[in-house]
Amino acid sequence: FDYSGSQAIKALKEEGVKVILMNPNIASVQTNVGSGEGKADQVFFLPVTPEYVEQVIKREKPDGILISMGGQTALNCGVTLYNNGILDKYGVKVMGTSVETVIATEDRKIFNEKLCEIGEKIAQSATAETIEQAKVVANEIGYPVMIRAAYALGGLGSGICNTEEILVEKTKIALALSPQILVEKSLLGWKELEYEVVRDSADNCITVCNMENFDPLGVHTGDSIVLAPSQTLSNRE
């Protein structure tokens, strides 16, 4: 996220926009201050939490805020500020990815509904907010199942459960990190393929490349490597 944040600052500065950065990590590239390309005009070494962000907004009176370049912490913080009415209170507009879109992609239930709306095939699944709900869903789907925590960084709180005992253990951990989990049919061993697509505000799309995870589904992408282009797909596939 240091790279994406640095590039965002550079792009904003090229457009003549004054940039205020909140980042508690002094060892990052984006926190380098001073004049020149890719440098924020002002840096606050403060935790990215709703309370601190509101204080900076109140003091600096920005026109807009960018929440999609700071990883899960910034996304969760932005959603809270939006839901609590802080952004409306100070007239701050969300730049780039809208909060509604963030919520739709972070909330597992809403995300699945959005995929169904456009006819995408998804694994059989249901959301749960308690261990008992998770057990009921898992029994309906049949073991093994995969659980995924909502509003969580990367694969945090996620895992494959072969038995109810493992499900209860992993659900306890997941619900300690997130208010909601998704219980879905396990697709362990499937190939994992990704397509990088860039889209602009006019809905022009460019597919940059397709990629294939070196490991099959079940190994978190962050713990694996990705090859581009895909190596094992036939032309028909």
User: Tens of pLDDT along 48-96?
Assistant: 999 999 999 999 999 999 998 888 889 989 999 999 999 999 999 999 8
Of the candidates 21, 86, 79, the one whose C-alpha atom is nearest the C-alpha of residue 54 is: 86
Copy the structure tokens of residue 207: 């597919």
Strand 93-95 to strand 64-66: parallel, antiparallel, or no bridges (unpaired)?
A: parallel
- pLDDT 10s digits, 115-169: 999 999 988 989 899 999 999 999 999 999 999 888 765 567 788 899 999 999 9
The structure tokens listed for 63 are: 């026109």
pTM above 0.75, yes or no: no
Residue positions counted in the chain? 237
Separation of alpha carbons 163 and 142, rounded Å: 10
